[in-house]
Structure 1
Amino acid sequence: MKFFKGSSSNGGQEKTILRCPSYTEPQNLTGVSEFLLLGLSEDPELQPVLAGLFLSMYLVTVLGNLLIILAVSSDSHLHTPMYFFLSNLSLADIGFTSTTVPKMIVDMQTHSRVISYEGCLTQMSFFVLFACMDDMLLSVMAYDRFVAICHPLHYRIIMNPRLCGFLILLSFFISLLDSQLHNLIMLQLTCFKDVDISNFFCDPSQLLHLRCSDTFINEMVIYFMGAIFGCLPISGILFSYYKIVSPILRVPTSDGKYKAFSTCGSHLAVVCLFYGTGLVGYLSSAVLPSPRKSMVASVMYTVVTPMLNPFIYSLRNKDIQSALCRLHGRIIKSHHLHPFCYMG
């Protein structure tokens, strides 16, 4: 069997990428230096509509998460571990959605589906980095709620600024490790049987499906890393809430139980949304034969989830609402509150 090669630069070094010739095509195939993102639709009349829709969702996502960050950073009442972790989660959500959505919108507007080999690996690396960062931060926030409810008298001592900063740095370095391991595995794939990626971004599982040779070991490593970096945080979250439920149930009054549960409600909603859509997307790309179903799941956890997170935290949280009101008042340089604001 013959392979036809093309070259691309990676960090100043020349990298040869091989593409397998198709068994059904007698002609030779050109080398692979770029991929084609198939996107959500091939209908040219639908492209402007989809571009406008996703641009609106992207702007709402960025604006909503920026407002959370500004509210937390500008209001001294919110300088607590819980809101410190929340602002970092909002920052990770902005990075997560910015990795995929702007490229998709530009492709729709320019009717171009091309992404270079280097660009594909870069996008994949940042996608894994921010996805894992979201994952780790949600588990850190669950631990914060566990300490606040189960050890309220020692909360400020345990969740001190040094520990909070360490948890953020640890989450980042673990996410960076996961991202670079994915990148290292993908760099081993130098032979592809096709250039069409059945998604709007460079999904690691989609790239594995395009490989020429048998990559069983690489697939097992990818899925093992997914299990480690996915199952361990969710196990920590479940264990934290298992410990939380017991003391809450011992609270004598229903009002006390409701107040205790309400402090965890927003976090639980975000956890269910993130892991629910992420798990569907992960399983659909690995099991389901339909690229369309996998793409819909990808839209849910890469676009919809980061957009809904600020609403989930702000609609049920009086502290965030009050901070946003004070921020709004400072912006317009007025002592009058916005009519829709609620002061707790």
Structure 2
Amino acid sequence: MLNVIGLSVAGRPLAFDSCELTASAEEAVRSGSFDVVWVDDGLPCGEDDECLVTIDGAPWLTGYVRDINWSADPDSRIVTVSVVSRTVDATEGAIDHPTGSIEDCDLRDIAASFDTGGVGVDVEIDTEKKPLHQIVPGETLFATLEREARAAGALIHDTPQGRLKIVAGPEGRHAGILAEGVNITRASGTLSGQFNYSEVKVRGQSSFGTNGAALRPEAQAKGTAQRKRTLIIYHEGELTSARAKKRAQWEAKRAAGRAKAASITVPGLSDAAGTLWTPNWLVPVDVPRGALRQDMVIAQVSFAQQGDGSGTEATLTLKDPRALGGENPRGDSAKGWEAPGEDDPSFRED
């Protein structure tokens, strides 16, 4: 299936010679870069103009023009336009709240109260209520949400409509399989022990109470290293037993996934059923020469296309699903691809 990418700025379509698009399950802002065809004097658009990127007519990025780079000589002119999701304001603009704090709140309450820029936040997880949430002066919406998301073992990424989305674990499954010798153009991988830890400990404090659980709480989760290598993290904000254990397990998984990823390039932009490759979706992978045979989760997707639709390809960055909060893929991959499973983290109060 031939997928066609389109770009419109301020409601006007712009032709382009080539483009690159990138979205990640681990980042809050998707982006794109277009080599625009422009023969008139002046520039095709202005920075901060509203824009829309579509694939086969459906929204893929809703946002703004970020940069306009141009160069010219007597024989040619090049105009490159980069675009970003609306969620860029949640990562760069400060929260403008009258008090900077709210009481008796969960993650949905925090998102609703501190989204003062009107970006929009879809919270698809339930979290326990906390007595108080206080922002840091000058803090962005993403920063204050990300602290809570880490404690809940959740990801924050953007949507095609330019909203933030908070989820725990993979959100879908692609049709078909990525198989060496069948539909993979290029494949590579990295397995590093840099972020392997034997255990991850989370420490912090609570503002309420004077016992050990309030003053010296510590949760511990098992990692992937066989030798003694401990990662100690100090948790920002209130630390309860449930939050400490969830954070410890999440950090153990994330650490294991930081330096273990496969990169696979395939022709076209969609799977066997015509669904666009999507971050935080699962896909079966069979690459014997990389010792990789299991379900993987798409951590990042990059699309590239010429303006006439030729030369279209997708590059997928893949990780063990557990590295993004998913389940054990139970495949036949080499042990180095593993992330920690769902063990029962311990909690110490003294």
Give the TM bin, normalised by the shorter chain. under 0.3
More strand by share: 2
More helix by share: 1
- Taking structure 2 as the reference length, what is the TM-score of the superposition? 0.25
- Taking structure 1 as the reference length, what is the TM-score of the superposition? 0.25
Higher relative contact order, structure no. (Cα contacts within 8 Å, ≥ 6 residues apart): 1
